[in-house]
Amino acid sequence: MRLNPKGMASSTMYKLDGDREQSGGAIGLFRSEATMSDDVCFEILARLPVEALFRFSCVSREWHRLISDDYLRWRLPLLASAVFYRCGDGESEKPRFACTSRGSLRECSLEFFPFHRSSAIVDCCHGLLLSYSSFHSMFYVVSPITMRWVELPRPPKRAQLSVLAFDPRHSSEYKVVAFTGWLPRGAELMVFASETGRWAERSVQWGLDPDAMTTTLRYFAGTLYILAHPNYAVAVDLGDDSVCRLIELPEAMKHGARLDMSAGGLQYACNDGGRLRVWMHNESSGGGWVLKHSVNVNGAVVALHPEREVAYLRADWKLVSYDLRKNKVEEVLEMEEERETACYVVNMWLFPFSRHMSDCLATRTVVETYPSDAKEYSV
Contact 193/175 with Cβ under 8 angstroms? yes
How far apart (Å, rounded) are the C-alpha atoms in residues 314 and 36?
41
Q: Which residue has the higher pLDDT, 201 or 375?
A: 201
Q: How many structural domains is the chain composed of?
A: 2
How far apart (Å, rounded) are the C-alpha atoms in residues 168 and 127?
10
Alpha-carbon distance values, 152 to 144, 201, 266 (Å): 17, 15, 30
Residue 332 CA from chain centroid, whole number: 17
Q: What percent of the chain has pLDDT over 70?
A: 73
The number of residues in the chain equals 379
pLDDT of residue 191: 94
pLDDT of residue 114: 92
pLDDT of residue 59: 74
Contact 117/94 with Cβ under 8 angstroms? yes
Contact 338/107 with Cβ under 8 angstroms? no
Regarding whether 163 and 303 lie in a shared domain, the answer is yes
User: What single-letter amino acid sits at 327?
Assistant: N
The CATH number given to whatever domain includes residue 120 is: 2.120.10.80
Q: What percent of the chain has pLDDT over 90?
A: 29
Least confident of 61-70, 245-254, 359-368: 359-368
Q: Which residue has the higher pLDDT, 23 or 355?
A: 355
Whether residue 360 is predicted with pLDDT greater than 50 in this model: the reply is no
Which residue range forms the structural domain that includes residue 326?
A: 77-351
Q: Which residue has the higher pLDDT, 180 or 73?
A: 180
Q: What are the backbone dihedrals phi and psi of residue 310, each rounded to the nearest 5 degrees, phi first?
A: -135, 130
Regarding whether 250 and 236 lie in a shared domain, the answer is yes
pLDDT of residue 109: 78
How far apart (Å, rounded) are the C-alpha atoms in residues 283 and 302?
24
Q: Is position 144 within any domain? A: yes
Whether residue 22 is predicted with pLDDT greater than 70 in this model: the reply is no
Least confident of 138-142, 223-227, 352-356: 352-356
Task: Report pTM.
Answer: 0.74
pLDDT tens-digit series, residues 49-67: 766 776 776 677 777 777 7
Regarding whether 107 and 14 lie in a shared domain, the answer is no
Whether residue 284 is predicted with pLDDT greater than 90 in this model: the reply is no
Whether residue 103 is predicted with pLDDT greater than 90 in this model: the reply is no
Regarding whether 159 and 292 lie in a shared domain, the answer is yes
Q: Is position 317 within any domain? A: yes
From the list 78, 236, 238, 122, the residue with the least C-alpha distance to 171 is 238
Confidence of residue 342 (pLDDT cuts 50, 70, 90): confident
Regarding whether 69 and 81 lie in a shared domain, the answer is no
Residues 6+ apart with CB under 8 A from 326: none
How far apart (Å, rounded) are the C-alpha atoms in residues 98 and 81?
5
From the list 169, 166, 190, the residue with the least C-alpha distance to 361 is 166
**Region 198-214 average pLDDT:** 91
Regarding whether 221 and 130 lie in a shared domain, the answer is yes
pLDDT tens-digit series, residues 290-306: 999 999 998 889 888 88
Regarding whether 81 and 14 lie in a shared domain, the answer is no
